[in-house]
Amino acid sequence: MKLIPEVFAARDEIQRIRRTIHAHPELRYEEVRTADLVAQRLEQWGIEVHRGLGKTGVVGVLKRGTSERAIGLRADMDALPIQELNTFEHRSQNEGRMHACGHDGHTAMLLGAAQYLANHGEFDGTIVFIFQPAEEGGAGARAMMEDGLFAKFPVDAVFGLHNWPDLPEGAFGLREGPIMASSNEFRIDIKGIGAHAAMPHNGRDPVFAAVQIASALQSIITRNKKPIETAVLSITQIHAGDAVNVIPDAAWLAGTVRTFTIETLDLIETQMRKLADATAAAYDCTVDVAFNRNYPPTVNSSQETRFAAEVMREIVGAENVNTAVEPTMGAEDFAFMLLEKPGCYAFLGNGEGAHRAFGHGAGPCMLHNPSYDFNDQLLPIGSTYWVQLAQRFLAHREA
């Protein structure tokens, strides 16, 4: 492993930053303390700071030389509404809130890179450090872009990095094309006519219609979608009625849809509306379908992904870089940035939890887990990756 010596030497300082952030988690669009810490550190290192994009977002700009070439490096800052089970010293001091996805580590790694690049980095161009709020369901990336992120700070490409427990400690995983799925929610409301359960012919049963719709929706996956296209349609809620002997007036069901392409998503939504309308009508009920598209698929551009993999190999060796990592049906709002700019989103292996040798609750070290903790051994690896990625990108006319 080839780490930058100065980055490795600063690992204790960056670890303290990471653990401070972990101890004071803030939910989406509430990252005031975290944003203050980030801004103060960037200013301390002489980096130009801009605040307020996406409400609590922070942007650092470091420019040298005369080149107009620019690269964006993004880290997320928000925590989750989870009660932490860990008992170590840096556990959450904010009840019901926890850094259970490693955004504390992501922020610390990018700060480690910013510190080195401000003091030692050699490059010709501009590095835009993007510290984003509200990745966890708040679409903070989109909010920053709506506030003019790329208009005010234009970049040629943008890159993201997320720790990943399914990978060995310090190994990288990435792939060209879709790496994470779109995230979408639906709710189908069925209205009928209530009646006594002993005399169902006097009503129009919305519960029976809801059950038929729930069953029919799976035919979209098995009979409408191409078998080679990946998609998930999960019904997670069915609600109706208050008494066992009364057919209610209404029922509703809801769930999630995940896809790797917009085309497949379009197909599922279209067929869902058709099936719901036709099935409800067959039972003399009416229906309303609400389909919300939350995050699009996260799709890596080929050129930037190959470039990122080259940088990774130089740091950890080819044997520790998986360029065909299995995509996940989880979602990530970095996808919005990749809709506007070419770039690459990658994973950095967090290991299997051995770094939590004491003071944690039961359970594996998986994301969104109350006993999760970021692996601090990754800090100099991630920071080195950001530094070398930026320097090499700006040293070439093309990535």
Cα–Cα distance measured from residue 168 to residue 382, given in angstroms and rounded to the nearest whole number:
14
The dihedral region occupied by 302, where left means phi > 0, alpha psi between -120 and 50, and beta the remainder, is: alpha
Read off the pLDDT of residues 360-372 as tens digits, 9 standing for 90 and up.
Answer: 765 567 899 999 9
Helix (H) or strand (E) holding 59: strand 57-64
- What is residue 353's predicted lDDT score, i.e. its pLDDT? 78
DSSP character at residue 99: -
Banded pLDDT at 359 (limits 50, 70, 90)? low
DSSP sequence for 314-357: HHH-GGGEETTPPPBS---THHHHHHHS-EEEEEEE--SSTT--
Residues 379 and 11: beta-carbon distance below 8 Å = yes
Q: Is the pTM of this model over 0.85?
A: yes
Banded pLDDT at 97 (limits 50, 70, 90)? very high
Cα–Cα distance measured from residue 89 to residue 24, given in angstroms and rounded to the nearest whole number:
12
Whole-Å CA distances, 285 to 166, 173, 215, 272: 46, 49, 17, 16
Listed in order, the ranges of the chain carrying CATH 3.40.630.10 are 5-180+297-395
Residues 135 and 333: beta-carbon distance below 8 Å = yes
Helix (H) or strand (E) holding 162: strand 157-164
Residues 364 and 94: beta-carbon distance below 8 Å = no
Architecture of the domain made up of 5-180+297-395: 3-Layer(aba) Sandwich (3.40)
Nearest-10 Cα torsion for 102, 104, 105, 108: 160
Cα–Cα distance measured from residue 170 to residue 381, given in angstroms and rounded to the nearest whole number:
7
Listed in order, the ranges of the chain carrying CATH 3.30.70.360 are 183-295
Task: State mean pLDDT over 101-123.
Answer: 96
Query: Of 31-35, 70-74, 349-353, which gets the smallest average pLDDT?
Result: 349-353
- What is residue 399's predicted lDDT score, i.e. its pLDDT? 44
What are the tokens at 91?
A: 């556990």
- Residue 49, pLDDT > 80, answer yes
CATH class of 183-295: alpha beta
- What is residue 362's predicted lDDT score, i.e. its pLDDT? 55
Give every CB contact of residue 5 below 8 A, 6+ residues apart in sequence: none
Cα torsion angle, 43, 46, 52, 55, sign? negative
Read off the pLDDT of residues 225-273 as tens digits, 9 standing for 90 and up.
Answer: 999 999 999 999 999 999 999 999 999 999 999 999 999 999 999 999 9
Q: To which residue do tokens 């379009």 refer?
A: 266
Task: State mean pLDDT over 30-50.
Answer: 98
Which among 184, 55, 65 is positioned nearest to 132, based on CA atoms?
A: 55
- What is residue 396's predicted lDDT score, i.e. its pLDDT? 76
Cα torsion angle, 367, 368, 372, 374, sign? positive
- What is residue 366's predicted lDDT score, i.e. its pLDDT? 86
Cα–Cα distance measured from residue 366 to residue 353, given in angstroms and rounded to the nearest whole number:
8
Q: In 135-163, which positions are buried (b, 16+ CB within 10 angstroms) versus exposed (e)?
A: bbbbbbbbbbbeeebbeebebbbbbbbbb
- What is residue 323's predicted lDDT score, i.e. its pLDDT? 98
Percent of the chain with pLDDT over 70: 97
- Residue 218, pLDDT > 50, answer yes
> Between 206-219 and 262-282, two packed helices, what is the crossing angle to 10 degrees?
150
- Residue 398, pLDDT > 90, answer no
Banded pLDDT at 351 (limits 50, 70, 90)? confident
Task: State mean pLDDT over 16-38.
Answer: 98
- Residue 126, pLDDT > 70, answer yes
- Residue 214, pLDDT > 60, answer yes
Cα 90–chain centre separation: 24
Average predicted confidence (pLDDT) for the chain? 96
Helix (H) or strand (E) holding 114: helix 103-119
